[in-house]
Amino acid sequence: MATPIEFVEEQWQTWIEKNPLGTYEHIDQEKLVDVLIKDLTYASGMDVKEYTLYQKWCEIKERYPVENVSTLWGQDVQMIYPEQEKLIKQVKSNFWMPKDPDDYANLKPVMKLHNGELAETWNAIRTFTSTMKNNSNIGRNLFYTIEDEITGKYLGVLCISSDFLDLTPRDNAIVWSRDIKTSQGMINHTAIGSTIVPLQPLGYNYMGGKLLALLCLADTVQNDWKERYGDVLVGVTTTSLYGNTKSNGLSQYDGLEHWNKMGFSSGSVAFEPSRATKKMIFNWIKENHTRKYFEWWEAKNKQGLPLKRDHKNRSLHFAYPKLGIPKELTRTEHQRGIYFSPLYDNTSEYLRKEIGDDKLVKSFDTSLEALTNIWKTKYAKGRISMLKKKNTVSYEALFYDDLIKMSWEETKAKYLTQVGR
C-alpha cells in the first residue's frame, strides 16, 4: 500500500501528464500586480464593517448577475437567470414571522440537512440574510436549515464544517500537540460552526443567534457527523464576527450556556481582491509554481478529501509577498473571538488520545428539546419582555436581495448600519 507521500506523488505524475508545463494560461505579472494593488488599496481603506458589507455586495453581484433589458416602459434591470429569481421569492416567502410577541414560546425547531439537491436553497437563505460573505469551506460540511416543525417556516441556517487546524487559545486549553491533532487525525473529532445565522426578526427579538449556536451542539449534528464521516464529534468551535475590536456590544456567544470563550485569534484578516483578480492570481501560481498549485487545488488524501485545506487563502497568502505587494495592503489587524464547547466532561483527554470512545462522559443534554428550552427560558423570554416594555418589538424581515440591483454607494447608504446585526 502506498504511503501518503507516494499516494500524492502518483497523483502528481498523472496530473502533470494531462496538464504539461507550458500549456497553462499566461498571466502578465506586471499587469497582475497593477490590478491587485488597485483592488487592495480600495479594500484596505475601509474599516471592518464597511469591508464586510463590500464583500457581501461583490458576492451578490457575482452570484446573481443582472442585465439591462428594453421593455415597453423603457430600460429595466432584470436578473439573467429566472430560476434564481424564482428561488429567491420562494425562500423569502417562507420566513417565520411572529403575529404576537410571545409566539416564540410555541416554536419547535428542527434541523434539516441541505447537502446535495437542496444546497441552492440553503445558499440563497445564507447569502441574503447575513452581511457576512457566504464563503465555501473545503472539507467536511453539514448544511442545515433550522425550521419550525409546526409551521414549516425558516428560522435560520447553520453550517458545521472541518475545524480550524490552529487556534492557539483553544489548543492550549486542550493541551493539544500538533502531531496528535493533525498527523493522528484527532482534529476530525471537532468541528466548527462556520455559519450561525438566525433570520430576522427572530435574531433581534429573541436572541435567535443564541438558539442557533446551541443547536450546533445538538444530537442531530453529532449523529450526522458520525454517519457521514465516521468520527465521534466531541467538541465544537466557533469564532465571532468581531473580536476585541468591536466598539459596541458583545458577541452572541458571550455568556452563552455550554460555550466557553477561549480568547482571541492571533492572526489578522486578509483583504481579498476582486473575483477576476483572484482568478488571475490562481492562474499565475499554476503557471509559475505548478507543484504548489497541484497540492493546493488538485491533490486528494486517501479519504478523497482535498490534501490541503483553505486553498484560496493559502494561494493569496503565498502570492502577495511573491508579487511584492506591501503588507499594509494585504491584512487588517482585526482579531476574532474564539469559543469552544466540549460535548463531554473528558473531551480534552479524548482529543489527546488518552481515552477511547467507551470512556466518554456526556457533559449535558444535547437533545433539540433541551437546547431549545435553554434558549426560550434563559434568553428569548427576557429579551422579548424588555422589547415589549420599550415598544420596540420588530415585525420586519431582513433580506438583502435588493443589493442585486443596487450600486455600491446605494448599498452603503442603506445597509452599513446593519452590518453584524
- Reported as a single tens digit per residue, the pLDDT across 15-53 is 999 999 989 999 999 999 999 999 999 988 888 789 889
17: in domain? no
**pLDDT at position 65:** 93
Tell me the pLDDT band of 200, cut-offs 50, 70 and 90. very high
> Higher pLDDT residue, 13 or 135?
13
Q: Average pLDDT for residues 111-121, to the nearest whole number?
A: 85
End-to-end Cα distance, the chain: 52
Average pLDDT, the chain: 91
Within 45-187, residue ranges assigned H as helices are: 48-63, 82-92, 119-129, 168-174, 178
- Whether the Cβ atoms of residue 27 and residue 293 lie closer than 8 Å to each other: no
Q: Average pLDDT for residues 97-102, to the nearest whole number?
A: 97
**pLDDT at position 267:** 59
**pLDDT at position 245:** 45
pLDDT over threshold 70, residue 334: no
**pLDDT at position 119:** 86
Share of the chain above pLDDT 70, in %: 95
Tell me the pLDDT band of 109, cut-offs 50, 70 and 90. very high
Nearest to 235 by CA among 255, 262, 208, 254: 262
180: in domain? yes
Within 295-356, residue ranges assigned H as helices are: 311-322, 347-351
Residue 10's CB is within 10 A of a number of other CB atoms, namely 11
pLDDT over threshold 90, residue 418: no
pLDDT over threshold 60, residue 320: yes
User: What is the SS3 assignment for 413?
Assistant: helix
**pLDDT at position 417:** 83
pTM attached to this predicted model? 0.85
166: in domain? yes
pLDDT over threshold 60, residue 247: no
402: in domain? yes
pLDDT over threshold 80, residue 419: no
Residue 339's CB is within 10 A of a number of other CB atoms, namely 25
Residue 31's CB is within 10 A of a number of other CB atoms, namely 10
Distances (CA, A) of 217 to 53, 166, 224, 405: 29, 21, 12, 38
252: in domain? yes
CA distance 157 to 215: 10
Query: Which long-range CB contacts under 8 A does 396-399 form with residues at least 24 apart?
Result: 396/200, 396/201, 397/92, 397/95, 397/97, 397/199, 397/200, 397/201, 398/129, 398/199, 398/200, 398/201, 399/92, 399/95, 399/128, 399/129
Within 115-179, residue ranges assigned H as helices are: 119-129, 168-174, 178
CA distance 401 to 208: 21
Domain limits for position 339? 46-62+104-268+333-418
141: in domain? yes
Element at 75 (helix H, strand E):
strand 74-79
User: What is the SS3 assignment for 336?
Assistant: coil
Q: Parallel, antiparallel, or unpaired: how do β-strands 141-148 and 260-264 relate?
A: unpaired
Strand partners, 192: 161, 237
Lowest mean pLDDT of 105-119, 194-208, 374-388, name the range: 105-119
**pLDDT at position 159:** 96
Residue 107's CB is within 10 A of a number of other CB atoms, namely 24
Q: How many domains does the chain have?
A: 1
Query: Which long-range CB contacts under 8 A does 14-18 form with residues at least 24 apart?
Result: 15/294, 15/298, 16/290, 16/294
Lowest mean pLDDT of 63-67, 270-274, 357-361, name the range: 270-274
pLDDT over threshold 80, residue 309: no
**pLDDT at position 303:** 77
138: in domain? yes
CA distance 256 to 253: 5
319: in domain? no
Tell me which amino acid residue 231 is: D
Task: Match 494561494 to its residue by C-alpha cell.
Answer: 315
Residue 127's CB is within 10 A of a number of other CB atoms, namely 23
> 326 phi and psi, to 5 degrees?
-55, 135
What are the E-state strand segments in 90-240? 109-113, 141-148, 154-162, 190-198, 235-239
The interaxial angle of helices 48-63 and 408-415, nearest 10 deg, is 130
